């Protein structure tokens, strides 16, 4: 399941690259449509990543988690994932890692991204679990003590 999710996340990045190419093409035909295509890319990416994290949080754990709890954790994780993807892309685009360290700089950025992604999956799973216990389907109110 985890390898399948990783494959689908890779496909999601490829779809984002294709949408960027389509944006460049349509910008030539219809100037000013770039913003709309970026919004479409953001929404499609967010939806796909949310669905993938929801599947991961629902079927991988040994404990049964309800869909309501899973969706809240998946949305929070996908939001952090997209923010991290934007920041890594911004860093790669604006910094001169290649000229300063050569190929080693790219390897460091990739390792940082893998570390961030793995910590994010752990955080999202833990967030989903804690939410289910304290606010979600596994919440049980404490008994009132007699006065």
- Written as one string, the DSSP assignment of 67-109 is HHHHHHHHHHHHHHHHHHHHHHHHHHHHS-HHHHHTHHHHHHH
41: pLDDT strictly greater than 70: yes
Q: What is the C-alpha to C-alpha distance for residues 55 and 39, in angstroms, rounded to an integer?
A: 24
Q: Report d(CA 17, CA 56) in Å as an integer.
A: 24
Alpha-carbon distances of 78 from 31, 49, 135, rounded to whole Å: 31, 6, 20
Residues 6+ apart with CB under 8 A from 90: none
Interval 91-102 mean pLDDT:
64
Q: Is the dihedral of CA 5, 75, 37, 109 positive or negative?
A: negative
What is the residue whose two structure tokens read 């479409």? Answer: 40
Residue 43 has pLDDT above 80, yes or no: yes
CA 78, CA 13: separation in Å to the nearest integer? 14
Predicted pLDDT of residue 71: 94
pLDDT at 100: 65
Residue 78's closest CA among 39, 52, 55?
Answer: 52
Instruction: Give tens-digit pLDDT for 48-60.
Output: 889 989 988 888 8
| Rounded average pLDDT over 119-135 | 89
């Amino acid at each position: 399941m985890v390898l399948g999710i990783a494959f689908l996340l890779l496909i999601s990045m490829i779809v984002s690259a294709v949408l960027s190419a389509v944006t460049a093409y349509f910008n030539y035909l219809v100037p000013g449509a770039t913003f709309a295509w970026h919004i479409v890319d953001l929404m499609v990416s967010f939806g796909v990543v949310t669905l993938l994290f929801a599947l991961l949080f629902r079927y991988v754990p040994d404990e049964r988690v309800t869909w309501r709890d899973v969706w809240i954790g998946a949305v929070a994780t996908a939001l952090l994932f997209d923010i991290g993807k934007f920041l890594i892309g911004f860093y790669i685009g604006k910094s001169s890692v290649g000229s300063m360290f050569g190929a080693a700089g790219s390897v460091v950025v990739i390792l940082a991204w893998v570390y961030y992604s793995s910590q994010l999956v752990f955080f999202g799973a833990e967030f989903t679990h804690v939410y289910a216990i304290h606010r979600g389907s596994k919440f049980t109110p404490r008994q009132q003590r007699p006065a």
